[in-house]
Structure 1
């Protein structure tokens, strides 16, 4: 098919750089002198056109690759023929060299891409190719001079010097051809003409080589053709020295860091990977050892690599090479330029530098073949940039630093560098700022370490700033780093700047990856799953997958963790997240920012609602569209546990952004999980943020609903007395607003806080239950009946408690099993108190099994303690003691001091029943010590009574 002008220009750019990754920026610069704003989108369209035309262009990172064989592209065929011709010339087979050069030059028809509209930057590449053609032509001329084809060459060279009269190389060959053809006078005339042009045009005399040739012709001395530019005659005297100038012990490494601290294990790992190489050819592999050190910007990859390289200098005595690849910049360095830099360092004269990257790589490998050379490639942009720089023999070794992993580097030992541990980070800060300075205010020093996220670059900058201001209190600097939203402004000193370092990596990303990076900014969470980024972007998880992979490859996020729900989790360093937050505010419009937060909060609510279907509803009127409750499911609970921190952060961020409805709805959906799993502080915190947002916006309905749920969280952790006033205010508020449904929950909350007037509490709870029956709210009714039964138990009305519980059980089918677990436990208590202990054991086991299935730890602990008490009452003391010991340990792990105290009380009773009053006294004393820190007058009074009883019994026994 015939391609339009722009797709042909893109294709020509690929053909001018065959088998090499061409960056998007280079392609755009090649196609447009003044790129339009839509240049990137247009470029992607043109690449799609090429693919439709069966031109197999591959996407490679931030660029594209067109893979071609020599039989499909004249340029590659030319390069291969020239390479073979030069080899044959060096071997002395001039006839074969002549044939190969002739074939190579015949492939040139006009200028490269002469009929394609290409932009200015391509001119340099075209000039380079034309120079390669002229170099090959000169080598071919030299071969024919050595073959004696002088007359043929005179006819060819005469018009060439007219076309390029300033080329001394062409004049030199014409003079040789004329002289050896017996045309000495014409050779001298050629020199005169050459000198006349050079003086007239450039004001210079001919070069030494041309003058020496002129003198030889004047003296009628024999004239030899010049050696080919790229090949030296191996038969010449001292050929080995000419072919490979002596070098040894070259060191291009930057200086090691004088205050290098920590990283012992990482240093050992890299050294171990490379040490086996030094001076060895019997490692079982012909490949050099490669160590790849990757990690986020500023983490100290280059510092570690340079330190390791200096440690290994003696073991790689033939040299240590170093080049910066610029992979983190928008324009990574071309491998050909890097090879040329290394070759110059190895003593290769620019005059004999091969033109193509493949020939440069071959010369580079030949130069260091069988030598013990350590090559440090700093800041690699990808495998394609690194591969040409890897030595070809096993005695050498390579250290590569890269912001992202290089997974396709064969045989490489990979080391992902994280921030140093706290002690090493502190030592680094002290090494720069001074130990005395850091130790003078350890608390502020720790605050600085936390604010810097222990990132080595940030710590060096922080230390440098403290050095420049010796009178500056650490507390003031810590305050700036902690309190200032734009804390990156404080992390700048001289040439070191955290924000600039991050910006370099950000600039290399595709537009899609940049947007994904910005979306890590608004939500402050340790890690996120793909769905979170997708919701913020407004795309599917599949659509953002490539962007996340690009961010990981750039070292801006890590994706090595899998959470309990089998989701990959992506983490970003705190300072990088601060940078992302700045970009989110600066580059996203207000409308886009709000839409992103609405999307993620709405998506989170949908997911939470689905995952929490096994849990009871919140202590408030249920929203519309709530799905039916299901039996316990491990998958939903695992997802909620994995996403807990992220979901809390979404609620808080949305609330502070004034998005009342979505933040309130998500808080309402998430609260039951947090309360049931014992994360009461988290529940109170996020509900408080959502309540403040609702109050600021004047949304009284949302505020009331959230305050009911928050007060219930306090009741659940046995702090009913702290919210008694709150529930009464809410009741007045709801009744005043005519909100009968919310008023029913507030009324039930009032009943739960009437601990000092149980008869009134029973009446209020019964009234609330009647209201829920009228409203048709099954969840509210079950909650109310559970409260009614609990008060009946406290009043000793055990038959009434059993009746209420049976009535509730008949209604509990299809609701959360939390209701059933509570009801069975209440029935067990009633049966136990009525002396029906075996029946109580069955009820307790049912409650325990349901609580464990639901992973309701608090319910599980309470049921286990009650079950142990019943087992003890049946004389099964050993079993009861084991169960109570397990229960006490569970309470201690959960931080449940009251549960731990009551369990100690139960252990005291078991010891008394088995006749060990001394052990009973120890347990009752331990119980009282725990209760002394709590406001529990009822249990404290009971325990004092039991302690007195034990002491009296021990006194009677003469103990």
Structure 2
């Protein structure tokens, strides 16, 4: 019973084949068998039967085919309907393709266990299952694609059997089979290699070389390519009668996993070119173990390569040399080592190959002149050897391709400051900086633990000045070790000056500046320029678009150049939780080097222009973010500083709330940098626009610091409009923190300055806030006139959100006066404006006032609905202060409803939110509300205790 796929399609029932029926039914059965015990969809069956031209009745005809096939089958296997198609349920042992797969897997395991004779027998049994080409006679392109995959598996099994037969010394018996296989598959290279080796071992060298010429002619004429590296190496080895081609001893053949091969007497040269390991190597034990496992546990099928990458000075060479020394017992035929820093040209590579060949025992007079010939001789010499090659400080993949052995018995360790992505099959190790503990341990090994333990704080300071970079730590440690009379603090004092830090990190040939410079000089001119200009960025990290501003180019070109700096390990990437795009940052010591190069190479005008574009980009983006939140340039003032935007269409801000929060530290740094550079228009404009973030999240320290810096600058520059804007911003900060007298003074001075420069919008904004201060101070007689004038001015300058905000405040006055209809009228107009311009912040404030209005009429249901909408909005826009106020109001509404338990829970949340937003006055009001609530819940003493404890 079963289905036979390895040959003409057959359905076997009661040990006899049955007539499957029409060609269409044969296609359906083949598809179901190829997907045995998995659902085959009706669409797949239709594609297999009719390709891309099915008739309208295709589905019903498939159903007819399945029904006919079911009648042919026995109870042991059948076809069931499983949407969206059909399932052939069958024991896998009843499929000859599955039996073949299991036998091949068993043979592989036998070979791995060293049981080669049994493995060959198992493969012969597997191949005996084939009765001809897979699924012969089934007319379907879809089915034949799967049949081709089965045929490929057969060929691989046949090649593996022949490889094992060769290993068993049966070269004479299989030459006929190999010739037949080549006639059948003239473009597969492995059978040619097997035949060449079989003929050579049978003493037929001339015939073996003739096969090599034949395959070259066939591939060039028919395919247009040269034979692969394996065949080329084999042909050279046959020409040279390399002893490695002789049949290995049984002890070696028995276990393909063996890691030690007896040394060959035919080639006594065992190179040992590794430099000495570094005595203070520390803290990379796990990585050493990882490298050893990768290189020692290979299966000699493919060349094993470990590629170690990391920034200059991170310890790549030390790690590679340490691991190579520890692998000496595995690679008994020796080590080759090359420092690739000075090489790169063909003549340098040729000279290096000559050195390798001499180390491998080749006489100088026998070394060919050309690079290609030296590569060929090198690969022939190392073929079959257990040799480890260490290539240190590689700059690119083409630089080392001639130096890679062609033999899978060899292994390679590569170190590079860039990530070598084109090394196929390489195991990659990315080295990072030490942590503080590792850094202190390294210093202790160099200097002595007594000196480090005696000054732990200064030792930690030293580690931070070195940026936890192993090379910098080694230099600092060497300086201390050579001066036993120095205390640790003696060196930390010298390193505190950033301008001289690289000068101090030098000791007897160990020069950190030179180390960084090697990578810098390997960069393209545009990458060097970007590297230098990134020193202008004073933020702790920066977004990718900063590269476009610094280079004055589009985002895509800048990103390509930026990534070369990342690949060269000159920039680190950091991805914050919840972020989609990475940010970039310098290592501290690399930043110092970049700053040196910036001053040395770029003119003052070039530096000024680049900084102007960078700050102009910050300003343009902050302006855009404000527009996205407020629906336009509402309730904000702008100066005439130049903006910079990248050429072409570029969407940098995706989620405005996330953008503000992610860029906060960079925005603050940009404002400080603009102030330090004397750029007054950029400074005050960016500081004023950033209030959009500072106000809603309660970043009052940032707000105060940036505003004060900008204010001092505009005062020095005599910039009256900038001064007015900063006094207005500072007054708003005082107002938010309930320092009403300071706020009033700022607004009064700002109003006079706005009038002096003729800024109507500024006057409208100042009057609005002055009226609010008057209300909070109890000066009720002044409020209405200021709000009324502010409203008129807001409308005249087109500030829709400012208009809505004044209407909201006027509604509050109407509520206080008992004019609820007047309040509702103004709130409805304010709500329409907010929704028209799509300003959610303003909409939340209007809805909050609606809840107050409903509270006065004791319509608590509507008040609660309003506040729930407010909470959704303020949480969406990240308004912490708005959330705290909304929760407080909702707690009061719950109290008014008589739902005291819910009121207590809500007020406790309000208390937490007010503390998070640093709203001290609101916090006091919440505590008082909790105390009133506790009094109302007098039958629950624990409520009073909880309120008092807050």
TM-score calculated relative to the size of structure 2: 0.64
Offset at 1:436? 3.8
Q: Where do residues 193-342 of structure 1 align in structure 2 (5 Å cutoff)?
A: 244-248=266-270, 250-277=271-298, 280-281=299-300, 286-326=301-341, 334-342=348-356
Match of 1:773 among 786, 792, 806: 792
Q: Deviation per CA, 1:265-290, whole angstroms, max 9, x where unpaired?
A: 4444434433423xx54xxxx11322
Offset at 1:841? 0.5
User: Which residue of the partner structure matches residue 878 of structure 2?
Assistant: 855
CA contact (8 A) 1:615 1:673 kept: no
Of 502-511 and 708-717, deviating more is 708-717
Structure 1: which 5+ residue stretches go unaligned?
1-86, 101-229, 628-632, 928-959
**Partner-residue secondary structure (3-state), 2:534:** coil
* CA distance 1:459–1:910, shift in 2 (3 Å): farther
The reply to whether residue 588 of structure 1 matches residue 602 of structure 2 is yes
Match of 1:523 among 519, 537, 548: 537
CA contact (8 A) 2:533 2:598 kept: yes
The reply to whether residue 642 of structure 1 matches residue 656 of structure 2 is no
Q: How many residues align?
A: 692
Offset at 1:515? 1.1
User: Which residue of the partner structure matches residue 110 of structure 1?
Assistant: none
Q: Deviation per CA, 1:194-217, whole angstroms, max 9, x where unpaired?
A: xxxxxxxxxxxxxxxxxxxxxxxx
Offset at 1:781? 4.1
Offset at 1:487? 3.0
* CA distance 1:914–1:270, shift in 2 (3 Å): farther
Match of 1:817 among 832, 835, 840: 840
Offset at 1:889? 5.4
The reply to whether residue 450 of structure 1 matches residue 472 of structure 2 is no
Determine the C-alpha separation between the residues in 1 that align with 2:373 and 2:567: 30
CA contact (8 A) 1:559 1:570 kept: yes
Q: Name the Cα RMSD after superposition.
A: 4.2
Determine the C-alpha separation between the residues in 1 that align with 2:863 and 2:642: 35
* CA distance 1:332–1:817, shift in 2 (3 Å): farther
Determine the C-alpha separation between the residues in 1 that align with 2:272 and 2:611: 53
**Partner-residue secondary structure (3-state), 1:614:** helix
Q: Deviation per CA, 1:662-698, whole angstroms, max 9, x where unpaired?
A: 3333333333133323333333333333333323322
Determine the C-alpha separation between the residues in 2 that align with 1:395 and 1:894: 65
Offset at 1:760? 0.9
Q: Where do residues 633-782 of structure 1 align in structure 2 (5 Å cutoff)?
A: 635-716=655-736, 723-731=743-751, 733-734=753-754, 741-753=761-773, 758-760=777-779, 763-764=782-783, 766-774=785-793, 776=796, 777-782=799-804
Determine the C-alpha separation between the residues in 1 that align with 2:580 and 2:263: 63
* CA distance 1:309–1:795, shift in 2 (3 Å): farther
Offset at 1:370? 3.5
Offset at 1:416? 1.9
Determine the C-alpha separation between the residues in 1 that align with 2:338 and 2:716: 58
Offset at 1:404? 0.7
CA contact (8 A) 1:828 1:841 kept: yes
Of 408-417 and 664-673, deviating more is 664-673
* CA distance 1:685–1:596, shift in 2 (3 Å): same
CA contact (8 A) 1:714 1:723 kept: yes
* CA distance 1:292–1:904, shift in 2 (3 Å): farther
Determine the C-alpha separation between the residues in 1 that align with 2:296 and 2:746: 70
Q: Deviation per CA, 1:755-806, whole angstroms, max 9, x where unpaired?
A: 8x63216724751552342353444444445556668889999888666645
CA contact (8 A) 2:720 2:753 kept: no
Determine the C-alpha separation between the residues in 2 that align with 1:640 and 1:461: 41
* CA distance 1:773–1:509, shift in 2 (3 Å): same
Offset at 1:654? 2.9
CA contact (8 A) 1:522 1:653 kept: no
Offset at 1:577? 1.9
Match of 2:559 among 545, 548, 558: 545
CA contact (8 A) 1:614 1:817 kept: no
Offset at 1:750? 4.4
**Partner-residue secondary structure (3-state), 2:433:** coil
Q: Where do residues 109-508 of structure 1 align in structure 2 (5 Å cutoff)?
A: 244-248=266-270, 250-277=271-298, 280-281=299-300, 286-326=301-341, 334-470=348-484, 472=486, 474-475=488-489, 477-508=491-522
CA contact (8 A) 1:518 1:584 kept: yes
Of 519-528 and 374-383, deviating more is 519-528
Determine the C-alpha separation between the residues in 2 that align with 1:343 and 1:718: 83
**Partner-residue secondary structure (3-state), 2:283:** coil
Determine the C-alpha separation between the residues in 1 that align with 2:864 and 2:492: 58
**Partner-residue secondary structure (3-state), 2:336:** strand
User: Which residue of the partner structure matches residue 843 of structure 1?
Assistant: 866
Offset at 1:828? 1.7
CA contact (8 A) 1:340 1:353 kept: yes
Structure 2: which 5+ residue stretches go unaligned?
1-199, 214-238, 245-261, 644-652
CA contact (8 A) 1:909 1:920 kept: no
Determine the C-alpha separation between the residues in 1 that align with 2:447 and 2:427: 35
Of 338-347 and 429-438, deviating more is 429-438
Q: Deviation per CA, 1:589-618, whole angstroms, max 9, x where unpaired?
A: 111111111222223322232233233468
Offset at 1:526? 3.5
CA contact (8 A) 1:244 1:367 kept: no
Determine the C-alpha separation between the residues in 1 that align with 2:478 and 2:243: 57
Determine the C-alpha separation between the residues in 2 that align with 1:925 and 1:268: 60
CA contact (8 A) 2:307 2:416 kept: yes
Q: Deviation per CA, 1:392-414, whole angstroms, max 9, x where unpaired?
A: 33343222111010111111122
Determine the C-alpha separation between the residues in 2 that align with 1:475 and 1:383: 44
CA contact (8 A) 1:334 1:385 kept: no
**Partner-residue secondary structure (3-state), 2:583:** strand
Determine the C-alpha separation between the residues in 2 that align with 1:794 and 1:425: 66
Q: Where do residues 57-96 of structure 1 align in structure 2 (5 Å cutoff)?
A: none
Determine the C-alpha separation between the residues in 1 that align with 2:337 and 2:816: 80
